[in-house]
Structure 1
């Protein structure tokens, strides 16, 4: 499965995912800051990862043009404590086109405009919802897909089961964020 990480930062997520051989992921990381890539290469394993030092908007538009598809697109693009940084919302239509029909786009949100960002993505995706994991810091994860009726409310038991499986493997202690019972 093709897995895209935009704004890979230090590469910790990609490094973790690349260790899970059963997932058989082809990971592409796009990070516009070369100094971050160099730091990432020094400290993290990128065995199953293709790291690109490119402008994120240009990369997404080019992937759309060439017809690329990803099972998952994870967006971790922050500037001065605000996630996502300017420009990400404008890419939502191109993101919809490069995610597989059953794939997901996951966006880290940390700002005062989370509901506005949700509504903006709902304009182009069939289903979107917010997953809150830190109210004090306004940290939420926006999850969108091209699938109809694929929100937390509509698929709660399925999502909880998937989170339990992830927690069994990675021991993230997900019960701290959501009741998985």
Structure 2
């Protein structure tokens, strides 16, 4: 069988030159994050807390293990002031959820700029220090990083964060 015949079609609304394309295509190929509607990824669309939780569980690799789901969901939500499945997810809420499952340790001192709520500072700092940031998050001239914590998480940003946090190598391979 030709390997390329099984490849999924790229999304019609993700530009060839997009700095998010490799993350989006990678998660799509692994059935972690697919189209929002039809063949459209809608990279600029925000996500609900529930949508992100579902994608995060798939990225983490535990979604198909029924006995582990409840404890993994509890772990994922630890430390969040609230979880509203229908509310838009902020970047800092996503960071805490990723950190709860990934348990990254800060590898360098990071100075955050911008607004990050106290309950999210540790998670955002750990992710930033490990390089789990999207392409639009940059280190400022003074060395600080604005994670844009209180902004809604866009679908393309979620793809980048999840790909960097869990990496293709850490994902379970489909057994045939």
TM-score calculated relative to the size of structure 2: 0.29
**Which fold has the larger relative contact order, with Cα–Cα distance below 8 Å and residues 6 or more apart in sequence?**
2
TM-score calculated relative to the size of structure 1: 0.28
Bigger strand share: 1
